[in-house]
Structure 1
Amino acid sequence: MEHVEKFQSSHKDHKSAKKAEQKGQHKRWAIVSLSSIPLVMTLGNSMLIPVLPVMEKKIGISSFQSSMIITVYSIVAILLIPIAGYLSDHIGRKKVIVPSLIIAGIGGLISGWAAWKMTDPYWLILIGRSLQGVGAAGAAPIVMPLVGDMFKNDEEVSSTLGLIETSNTFGKVLSPILGAFLAGFLWYLPFLAFPVFCAISTLMMLFLVRSPKKQEVIPFKQFLHKIKDIFKNNGKWLYSIFITGVILMLVLFGVLFYLSDVLEKTYEIKDVKKGLLLALPLGALCLSSFITGKMIKENKVLMKWITFVGIVLLAASIAALSFSKELWFMISMFFISGVGIGVGLPCLDALITEGIEKEERGTITSIYSSMRFIGVAAGPPIVAVLMKNTDKMLFYILCGLSVVALIVTLVGIRPKNGDTK
C-alpha cells in the first residue's frame, strides 16, 4: 500500500512538473509573439529612413516632403491610439491588435503598389502610410497593457516590458540595414516587405497568445470619471513621463534623419554600409534597453535615477556634436546618445504600466504611446527645417530639449521613499 501511495505521489508530482513546464513554454512563445509586434511596427517606419534620400531622387520630392512619409504615419497613430486603448480595455486586447496588424499590412501594399506602378506616386504613398498609421495605433501600443494583464508579478512585468522595448529597439537596429539592403534591389521593396512581416505577426498572435479574462465593462461615463481621477491623483508623474517620452523619441528620430542625410550627401556612404553605420547607435540603444529591463525589477526609485543618468548622457553627447563633424566622432557621440535613450525607455514603460490599475491601463498607456508618436512625427521635419541653418543650432536645440527632459524627470517623477514597487 505504501509503495502504491509513493507511486501515485511521484506520478502526481511528475504531471504537475510537466504542466508547469508546458505553461512556461507557452508563456515564452506568447512573449516572443508579443515582441514581434513592436519589431514589425518599427520596421514599417524606421526601415524607410535610409531610403528617403533615394525616394527624393526617384519621385522628385524635397527633404521636407520625404520626412512627411515618416511623419504622416505617426500623426494618424497619435490621433487613433487613445481610441484603440479605450477599445482594448472594453472588447479585449487581441480583438484590437489582430485587425490592426491586417490594416497596417494593407497600407504597406498600397504604398508599395503606388511606388511600383505610378509615375507620380507621392500622394498615394502617403495614403498607404496613413493606413499603416491606423494599424500601428491598434497594434504596438496595446502590447504594454496586455503584458500588464498577463503577468501578476511586477518583476515579470518589468522584465517582459524590457524585452518588448528591446524588440522595439532591435527593430530600429535591423531597420536601416534591412531597408538599405532591400532598396538595393528595388527602392520601393521595403514597402512591399512590410505586409509579409505583418502576416507573420498576425499568425503568431492568433495561435500563440491567449488573452487573459476580460475585465467587466464599466459604463463610459464612469470610465471617463475614473480617467479624470487618475490624472487628478497621478497627473504630475504621468505628465512628466509623457513629456520625457516625447523628447526622447523626437531626439532619436531627428538624429536618425540627420545622420541618414549626412552619410549620403556629405560622406557619399550608401546602401548597406550606410545601414550598418546607422545601426551602431541603435545597437547601443537595443543592448542598453535589454540590460536595463533585467536590472530594474520592481524598484521605481531605481527606474527614475537610471532615466536621469540616461538623459544626462544624451544631452552631453548631443552637445558634443557641435564641436566636430569628423565621421568617427559623430558615430561615437550618437552611440552614447543611443545608450542614454536605451536605458530611459524601459524605465518609463515600467513606471507607467505598473502605476496604473488594469481597468484603465490600456487607455493610459495608449495616451503615453501617443505622446511617443508625437516625438517620432516631429523629429524628422523639425530636423529637416533646422538643417537649412547651421548644424550647431540643430545640436543646441536638441540638447536644450534633452535638458528639459532632465529637469522634468528630476522634478516630476517622484516615487515615495522605499517605493520599490
Structure 2
Amino acid sequence: MKKTIKKQKAVLIILLSNIFIAFLGVGLIIPVMPTFMNIMHLSGKTMGYLVAVFAVSQLLVSPLAGQWVDRYGRKKIIIIGLFLFGVSELIFGIGKNVSVLYLSRILGGFSAAFIMPGVTAYLADITSLQERPKAMGYMSAAISTGFIIGPGIGGFIAEYGVRMPFFFAAAIAFLACFISIFILKEPITKEQLAEISAKTKQTNLISDLKKSLNPLYFIAFIIVFVLAFGLSAYETVFSLFSDHKFGFTPKDIASIITISSIFGVIVQVFMFGRMVDFLGEKKLIQLCLVIGAILAVASTVVSSFLTVLVVTSFIFLAFDLLRPALTTFLSKAAKKEQGFVAGMNSTYTSLGNIVGPAMGGILFDINIHFPYLFAAVIMVIGLGITVMWKEGHLSESVAK
C-alpha cells in the first residue's frame, strides 16, 4: 500500500523543488540574454542555435536517460541531472567565447533529459493511481512557477552583474543536488530495478522509438509532440507578434505572460485533480485542444490589451492542463516501464521544441498571423488523432 501524498510531504517538496530549480534556472537568464548577446557580439542566428542545441541534446539523451532511470534508479539520475545543470550554468556564466556557450547548452540539454524522467518516474512510483493526477499537476505547476518567477529574479540579480544570474542558478542547483543525496531514498527495490533493467538492457534509441509506436503509447506521444510544437511556436512568436501588431512594450508583454502563467498555476494546483476525476484524461485533453485551436485563431483578430490578456491566459491554461493530463495517462499506461515512458515523453517534447520555434519563425516572416493559424491546424489534427484513442487499451494495460 503506497503512502498518501500528505504522508510524503518532505519527499514531494524535494522532488518538486528539483524540477522547479531546473526551470527557474531557464527563466533566470531570460532578462540578461539581450545584454549578453550585445556584450559578446552574437548574432540572432547564433542565439537561435544556442536554443536549438539545448533541445537537440535533450532529444538525443532522453531515451538513454529513460533507460538509465529504470536500470540505475530514479535517485541517481535526478542527482546527476542536477549536478550537470549546475555545471552548465556555471560554464555559461564564465564563458568568453561561443564554443564554451555551446558546451554549456549541450550539458543543459543533458541535465533536462535526466531530471524530467527521473522526477516523473519517482512521482509515479510513490503515488497511487488515484493520487497520481494530483502529483503530476503539482509537477506541472512547479515547472510553470519556475518559468514565472525566474525572469523577475534574474532581472533583480542582474543588477549586481550580467553574469550573476548564471552563478546563482548554479549555486541553487548544487544545493538541491546536495540535499537530494541525503534526503531522497530510492523508491523501488534493487530487485524491482533488476527486473525492469532486464527488459531494458537490450533496448536502444531506435528500438525505443519503435516501441513508442505501440498504439497504447503512440497517440499520446504524438499529442505530446503537438503540445510542445504548439506551445513553443506560440511562445516564440508571441513577443514579436505583440510588438509588431499592437506595439506592446516589454513591460506589457511580461505582464501578460506573468498573469497568464499565474492563472494557469492556480488552476493546476486547485482544479486539475478534480477535472481529471470529472472528465477523465482523454476528454480533458480533447477539451484543451479544442480551446487551444479556437483561441489561437482568436489571437489573430483581438486587439485591446485586455482581450489579448484573456485569450493568452486561456491558451496558456489549455497547454498547462494538457501537459499533466498526458503525463498522467502515460504513467498509468507504463506500469513498470516508467523510465522508458518518461524518457520518450521527453524525446517527443524535444522534437516539438526543435520544430515548433523553427516553423513559427519561418511562418512569421511570411505573415505574422500564420504561426497562430498553423498552430490551430496542428491542434485540430491532434484532436482528430485522439478520436482513434481507445481508452479500453489503457484499462487493459492497468489491469494487467
User: Structure 1 length as normaliser, TM-score?
Assistant: 0.82
Report % sequence identity: 18
5 Å-filtered alignment, 1:248-267, equals 248-262=227-241, 267=247
Aligned to 2:147: 172
Confirm or deny: 8 A CA contact 1:246 1:371 kept in the other structure: yes
User: Which of 297, 316, 328 is the aligned partner of 1:350?
Assistant: 328
Q: CA deviation at 1:31?
A: 0.3
Confirm or deny: 8 A CA contact 1:176 1:278 kept in the other structure: no
User: Which of 300, 308, 328 is the aligned partner of 1:322?
Assistant: 300
Aligned to 2:123: 147
Inter-partner Cα distance in structure 2 for 1:106 and 1:30:
24
2:75 matches 1:94: yes
Q: Secondary structure at the match of 2:291?
A: helix
Q: Which amino acid aligns with 1:73?
A: F
Q: Which amino acid aligns with 1:109?
A: L
How many residues are matched?
391
Q: Which amino acid aligns with 1:346?
A: P
Distance 1:394 1:53, change over 3 A: farther
2:216 matches 1:241: no
Inter-partner Cα distance in structure 2 for 1:260 and 1:175:
17
Inter-partner Cα distance in structure 1 for 2:118 and 2:248:
40
Aligned to 1:6: none
User: Which of 149, 157, 161 is the aligned partner of 2:136?
Assistant: 161
Inter-partner Cα distance in structure 1 for 2:36 and 2:303:
25
Inter-partner Cα distance in structure 1 for 2:286 and 2:162:
40
Confirm or deny: 8 A CA contact 2:237 2:371 kept in the other structure: no
2:338 matches 1:361: yes
Aligned to 1:7: none
User: Which of 381, 384, 392 is the aligned partner of 2:369?
Assistant: 392
Distance 1:234 1:248, change over 3 A: closer
User: Which of 379, 382, 394 is the aligned partner of 1:405?
Assistant: 382
2:168 matches 1:189: no
Q: CA deviation at 1:40?
A: 1.7
Unaligned 5+ segments in structure 2 are none
Distance 1:63 1:336, change over 3 A: farther
Relative to structure 2, which stretch is displaced further, 242-251 or 256-265? Answer: 256-265
Distance 1:71 1:179, change over 3 A: farther
Q: Which amino acid aligns with 2:249?
A: I
User: Which of 249, 253, 260 is the aligned partner of 1:269?
Assistant: 249
User: Structure 2 length as normaliser, TM-score?
Assistant: 0.86
Distance 1:407 1:364, change over 3 A: same
Q: CA deviation at 1:183?
A: 4.0
2:81 matches 1:106: no
Confirm or deny: 8 A CA contact 1:37 1:140 kept in the other structure: no
Inter-partner Cα distance in structure 1 for 2:291 and 2:217:
23
Distance 1:375 1:29, change over 3 A: same
Aligned-residue Cα RMSD (Å) equals 3.2
Q: Deviations over 1:229-272 (max 9, x none)?
A: 997798224111111112212222222222334566774634x6
Q: CA deviation at 1:177?
A: 2.7
Q: Secondary structure at the match of 2:334?
A: coil
Distance 1:287 1:189, change over 3 A: same
2:349 matches 1:375: no
Distance 1:181 1:326, change over 3 A: farther
Q: Secondary structure at the match of 2:130?
A: helix
